[in-house]
Structure 1
Amino acid sequence: MRYELVVFDNDGVLVDSEPLANTILAGYLTELGHPTSYEESLRDYMGSAVHRVHDLILERTGRRLPEEFDETLHARTFAAFERELEPVPGVVDVLKRLVDEGVPYCLASSGSHERIRVGHRKTGLDAWFRDENIFSAQDVGRGKPAPDLFLHAAERMGVAPERCVVVEDSRLGVQAAVAAGMDVYAFTAMTSHERLAGATRYFGRMDELPPRLGL
């Protein structure tokens, strides 16, 4: 089947941000008295919006994170992005191929619009994404694993969910895509097949994606 829309996750799929972001998150939570390793941060928070961090910490400890948590976390993360962030290897070639083949694409991210923009300015991906094809969990009531964000993106792009394919690298993202009734191609560069169970297909390098899309 030729898909009518390719929906990209952002963190870990377009920009190689997960190592940076989860190192910072784990360090900050530990600093606040919630010891968290890098591996635990990936396991619990990769692919989710920041409200999940608040929810899990409260559920596990009965303590709320400080009011300035989001602001401080974002400031530290954005500073690291400005210093070190790079695009995922091979993803620009994938975007060029989609343009050449006339296949519409967009992104649907758990991150804020500001986070997306900061990362895209640093990596040059702002040449490939504009306001009309960028969607954030900020735009909907519930983030991943709820299907709302992917359904919102499909509706705004004018494509039926069953004609969309999502490119994801997180367990929560795969669950959200499946719940939205979309095929999902799981990128396993950082996450195992087992953690991404339920995906339609799997691939480990970006140069493997166009053939899987029939391009």
Structure 2
Amino acid sequence: MTPDLVLFDCDGVLVDSEAVTNRIIQENLAARGLSLPLEQIVTLFVGGTMAGVRDTAHSMGATLESNWLDLIYGEMFAGLAAQCEVIPGVSNVLDHLDHAHIPYAVCSNGPHAKMDITLTACGLKERFDGRIYSREDVPAPKPAPDVYLYAAKLANIAPARCVVIEDSPTGAKAGKAAGMRTFGYVAETDPTRLAPICDALFDDMAKLPKLLHLPHAAVAQS
């Protein structure tokens, strides 16, 4: 089935931001008494919220300031503005969707301020203009389905006609809870973490147009 709406997660799906943010989180927490290997940072925190990072890190013994969220976001925003890059192949996928006249949006657990930095740095902000949604816009973050249902409602498209593109178990659970087909992007994610949740997995954005069953004419034009 060709979808009527494609909903992308942001970090790790559209923008290559997670390596930067994971390193910043690792160094920040180590300076506050909690040293964790990078693999554990990924397992514990990728796909969640920074408030969740704060709560988990505190429970594990980190000594965090009352304004830690402001401090870590400041570090992250500076790092992302300098280093964030677009995921290879994303622009081509969006070209395919445009040719097929299929709308798309971004739905993230991150705040709008962070997406403003990453999407702008990667040259994607204008392509998603007016269709950038955050957990700040809804009652509950992923793995709750709220942000995906919100995007579908605004587009007036039934959830069953939407496809979600995710790279984390947290986000994939949100897509499935929304009643949407969910495809897992596993270029940097252990496929075994997403396979039990997603309807399909792919490791290269070049494979996504075919996975979405886009009309052949649309693919040929790109």
Classify the TM-score, shorter chain.
over 0.9
Ranges in structure 1 where 5+ consecutive residues have no aligned partner:
none
**Structure 1 residue 48 corresponds to structure 2 residue 43:** no
**Structure 1 residue 99 corresponds to structure 2 residue 113:** no
Q: Percent identity?
A: 36
Equivalence for 2:161: 163
> Aligned partners of 1:30 and 1:40: how far apart in 2?
13
Equivalence for 2:183: 185
Residue 140 of structure 2: SS of its match in structure 1?
coil
**Structure 1 residue 32 corresponds to structure 2 residue 40:** no
Give the alignment partner of residue 150 of structure 2, picking from 118, 127, 152.
152
Q: How many residues align?
A: 213
Letter of the 1:122 counterpart: A
> Aligned partners of 1:118 and 1:22: how far apart in 2?
17
**Structure 1 residue 213 corresponds to structure 2 residue 201:** no
Ranges in structure 2 where 5+ consecutive residues have no aligned partner:
215-222
RMSD over aligned CA atoms reads 1.3
> How far is the alpha carbon of 1:60 from its aligned partner?
3.6
Residue 65 of structure 1: SS of its match in structure 2?
coil
- Could you state the TM-score of these two structures normalised by the residue count of structure 1? 0.95
**Structure 1 residue 76 corresponds to structure 2 residue 75:** yes
Residue 16 of structure 2: SS of its match in structure 1?
coil
Query: What stretches of structure 1 move > 3 A for 4+ residues in a row?
Result: 58-61
> How far is the alpha carbon of 1:146 from its aligned partner?
1.0
Residue 199 of structure 1: SS of its match in structure 2?
coil
> Aligned partners of 2:211 and 2:38: how far apart in 1?
31
Deviations 1:24-63 (CA, angstroms, capped at 9, x unpaired): 01111111112122211111110111111122224444x6
- Say which is worse superposed, 50-59 or 89-98, in terms of deviation: 50-59
**Structure 1 residue 8 corresponds to structure 2 residue 12:** no
- Report if aligned partners of 1:111, 1:136 keep a CA contact under 8 Å in 2: yes
> How far is the alpha carbon of 1:181 from its aligned partner?
0.8
> How far is the alpha carbon of 1:88 from its aligned partner?
0.2
Deviations 1:87-133 (CA, angstroms, capped at 9, x unpaired): 00010000111011100100100110000000111111112111x21
> Aligned partners of 1:138 and 1:164: how far apart in 2?
21
Equivalence for 2:22: 22
Equivalence for 2:66: 67
Letter of the 2:180 counterpart: M
Deviations 1:48-81 (CA, angstroms, capped at 9, x unpaired): 11111122224444x6732221111111111111
